[in-house]
Chains A and B, each alone.
Chain A
């Protein structure tokens, strides 16, 4: 069974016909050619597939593409403004907040949404906020540093 859906990703409209069982992460990766969102577990634990739906982090492996018909999504590809990296991306770069990079897109989006609601977090709050994004490389130490640094740098609300 298939459906034709229209999903807005990073401000751009993607109209595709998909099998109804296609997960959102597969839709993004295969049908939209946006491979920045990664598949790590397909059961909602690792967070590598995290995207933003109306600005809120969700697991793209636990959504069907057809559920996002008419909806607005943000993926990692939409973070940078042309050549200029988003401050969160820049902070991760400056603070060595990534090694293999596989968790990074999900981590960046989770951090972005978190900082928008919590501009002045403690380190414990940062750790709790990213506890749904597994990283196997960094031990999280520099990721927390990066998020702390960008929180300080972003204009306060």
Chain B
């Protein structure tokens, strides 16, 4: 395969339409006769509906219909659930699992603020909202349970009564002999860490446009989703239609981050409305709806213990973990097990036990968001390592040097499964090298010297480290269809969905190399279920690996067909024919070159003769990806703390990362930057806050604090490259990585800055108010 484009910083081909304001996001889809939907959402975290009266709403100007559960009862099937353990995982671990299906509309009991009670369809969004205001609901409030540890208690109010408990996922797991390790240790470090509830918050909210065509019984829906094929599958069940009658198109997405990779009631409700009313219906989420209706994330407590020798070698690890899943366990074992699988990270720890309880509470349901359990688990681990280092009087870099798995120990088998049920074996990477690279790029020794000097002058700066190993590109496949047209130009259709990571460029690079055509001849189409029969979608840093591998496979098949046809036309043996730069030629005879268009055209049967070959120049591929491939990184944060106000300034942020071979280095850097920015948000600013009645207090962007350009420093990236042996391109996923380590690195840096005071950071976000209280408390204790 030629490698003209692979590895090149090709400028993004999709950019002109975005720069001109001519992209097509879901709200830009306008259809003739289109109506607009708005939803009445529960204002209570836990309440029964005694009655609903929509008469006044129905009479409002412009209102076409108002739907409650009763009105759509025959359509109301349980919404899809995910996250059942695959066979390999279920064989190794006994999971206690409870999942209750949600219905698209509340039947009689709302379980979180924001759960949908009714749908209004009107001739404008303005008038639909007017009608929502006039729906009269008589609520009987019930006692909510909001705190995750309270939810785990026996006397707690229940979110799903027939469970008899709020435990959605429970399991324990161990490797090695943790009790013996702890008994033999010189020191044990024990601490509890709380990672707050925070979220993806894409700048574009969700949205659905659905158009039912009664003439041929087909539904077309545009959905701002990362998982068109999942949505299609959900609709086949909900609408009782065969898949080929349902077309789900992901338009341009204004961000996704996992928030748009979950299943939602609106995915189903809007199409149902279109079918019932016989007209296209649009719903575009507003920010307030998004805060309460789009999936939440993170929110874990770790009671972690490290057993170690005096020289800093960690010999054992115990972690008691709680997760708060919100009201519905939509994602099964995904978040809890991701958390466990990524806890040990780059450290050489052979004795571990975890005890996991994921509970439901009366809050918005959680779904995986950029990192999906990894940021939380890395926070617990890296904070614990730093606390251990402090306890032993060791430098944060030194303790990691001592414990990081070395390159010569790879592949490293943990003796436990990954979430896909296959053995968790780190394939390639060099964690100590990443550590040194981060330290060197930051000028660690100089930062330490400056730290001391500045401390004497009353300026408190700190350095914090965090390292992760990330199982990327969960399988089992991604669908790709490659087709060549009459002009010899190529479409690459994939189930992967672009939400800003540049698929139209990076996938074109791979395809152009694989086929031997100029990149300008390649058009990438993502997320259209009509273009690719089977697909999965983009999340879990999977698309470069899964779609990339399928592109390689499908393009190889197409190339072979082209070569055979060209060979026939050129009267040569296929083994002697090459395709390069869009031309077919006999190797060594450049004068023989003919454009691919000619090869295609010559294959079309005419009255006079059959074509030189069948003009079937297309192929679909579903490269099997049974397990993940391991990316890794070390992050370094340099902060300054104002001890009079608790304000933290992020001075520098360094990332030394390995994502295997790189298709497009600029796109890779952009992904790292974006992930880091979200991680910084989690470290210092972002939190979804509920009161004890389950009311969402952070209801707008005034209170949910997304970092601005003024809060972030330039992000310094060092690239390491340890190719993956697990796919033909040698790539590893990287979409999530940047978001994994910042909370740990920044919290470590803050604690380091304040080490003269003895402050311990146990939770994020590290707000000025929380930090000043810690500083004052440390100052006043003996």
Contacts and interface: CB of A to CB of B under 8 A. Distances in A.
On whether A and B touch (CB less than 8 Å), the answer reads yes
A38 B18 CA distance: 11
Residue of A76, A85, A99, A132 most packed against chain B (CB within 10 A): A99
Contacts of A39: 27, 284, 286
Contacts of A104: 18-19, 21
Nearest to B678: A136
Contacts of A80: 19-20
A143 B501 contact: no
Nearest to A145: B714
A96 B710 CA distance: 19
Interface in B64-98: none
B127 to A, nearest CB: 9
Interface residues of A, number: 56
A98 B18 contact: yes
Contact of B253 (A43, A100, A131, A141): A100
Interface in B243-271: 252-257
Interface in B224-283: 252-257
Nearest to B253: A100
Given A40-B203, A93-B19, A142-B673, A102 B254 contact: yes
Interface stretch (B8-16, B336-344, B756-764): B8-16
Contact of B714 (A35, A94, A135, A141): A141
A46 B27 contact: no
Interface stretch (B386-394, B481-489, B699-707): B699-707
Contacts of A127: 708-710, 712
Contact of B700 (A38, A45, A108, A141): A45
Nearest to A39: B27
Interface in A108-154: 108, 123, 126-128, 130-144
A136 B204 CA distance: 10
Given A36-B22, A89-B20, A100-B204, A139 B27 contact: no
Contact of A100 (B27, B500, B676): B500
B7 interface: no
Contacts of B203: 38, 40, 46, 48, 100, 102-103, 134-137
A99 B498 CA distance: 10
Given A98-B15, A140-B712, A29 B27 contact: yes
Contacts of A89: 19-20
Contact of B16 (A35, A77, A93): A93
B170 interface: no
A77 B255 CA distance: 21
B686 to A, nearest CB: 11
B20 to A, nearest CB: 6
A16 B540 CA distance: 46
A102 B27 contact: no
Contact of A45 (B253, B257, B701): B701
Contact of B674 (A48, A105, A108, A137): A137
Contact of B25 (A38, A96, A137, A139): A38
A136 B255 contact: yes
A131 B500 contact: no
A66 B678 CA distance: 38
B709 A76 contact: no
B44 to A, nearest CB: 23
Contacts of B706: 46, 134, 136
Contacts of A126: 709
Interface string A23-47: 0000001000011111111110110
B502 interface: yes
A19 B18 CA distance: 30
Given A45-B700, A100-B202, A100-B254, A137 B500 contact: yes
Contacts of A75: 21
B21 A37 contact: yes
Contacts of B700: 41, 43, 45
B701 A100 contact: no
A144 B15 CA distance: 17
B677 interface: yes
Contacts of A48: 203
B670 interface: yes
Nearest to A85: B19
Interface string A1-28: 0000000000000000001011000000
A105 B18 CA distance: 8
B126 interface: yes
Contacts of A144: 709, 714
A108 B19 contact: yes
B17 to A, nearest CB: 8
A134 B19 contact: no
A141 B21 CA distance: 21
B666 interface: yes
A117 B673 CA distance: 29
Given A76-B21, A93-B16, A104-B19, A131 B670 contact: no
Residue among A29, A126, A127 with the highest chain B CB neighbour number at 10 A: A127
B719 to A, nearest CB: 15
A92 B15 CA distance: 9
A93 B708 contact: no
B23 to A, nearest CB: 5
B620 interface: no
Contacts of A141: 669, 673, 712, 714-715
A132 B708 contact: yes
A76 B20 CA distance: 6
A99 B502 CA distance: 7
Contacts of B201: 136
Given A45-B702, A141-B715, A35 B27 contact: yes
Contacts of B23: 101
B344 to A, nearest CB: 28
Contact of A140 (B25, B202, B677): B677
B501 A99 contact: yes
B603 to A, nearest CB: 36
A143 B204 contact: no
B550 interface: no
A35 B706 CA distance: 24
A128 to B, nearest CB: 6
A34 B403 CA distance: 57
B652 interface: no
B667 interface: yes
Contacts of A77: 20-22
A93 B11 contact: yes
Contact of B12 (A93, A128, A130, A131): A93
Of A92, A93, A101, which is in contact with the most chain B CB atoms at under 10 Å from its CB? A101
A43 B701 contact: yes
A42 B18 contact: no
Contact of A139 (B19, B22, B28, B673): B673
Contacts of B738: 139
Contacts of A133: 708-709
Given A99-B500, A141-B673, A134 B701 contact: yes
Interface string A68-109: 000000011101100001000100111010111111110010
A38 B254 contact: yes
B494 interface: no
Given A29-B27, A35-B28, A142-B670, A134 B708 contact: yes
B583 interface: no
Nearest to B200: A136
Interface string B650-673: 000000000000000011011001
A100 B251 CA distance: 11
Nearest to A93: B15
14 contacts: A21-B126, A45-B702, A93-B19, A100-B253, A103-B203, A104-B18, A104-B19, A123-B714, A133-B708, A135-B677, A136-B202, A137-B670, A139-B675, A141-B714
Given A41-B700, A98-B15, A99-B502, 7 more contacts: A45-B700, A75-B21, A96-B670, A101-B18, A136-B255, A136-B678, A142-B673
Q: Which 3 residue pairs across A and B have the least CB separation, nearest first? A: A36-B21, A101-B18, A102-B254
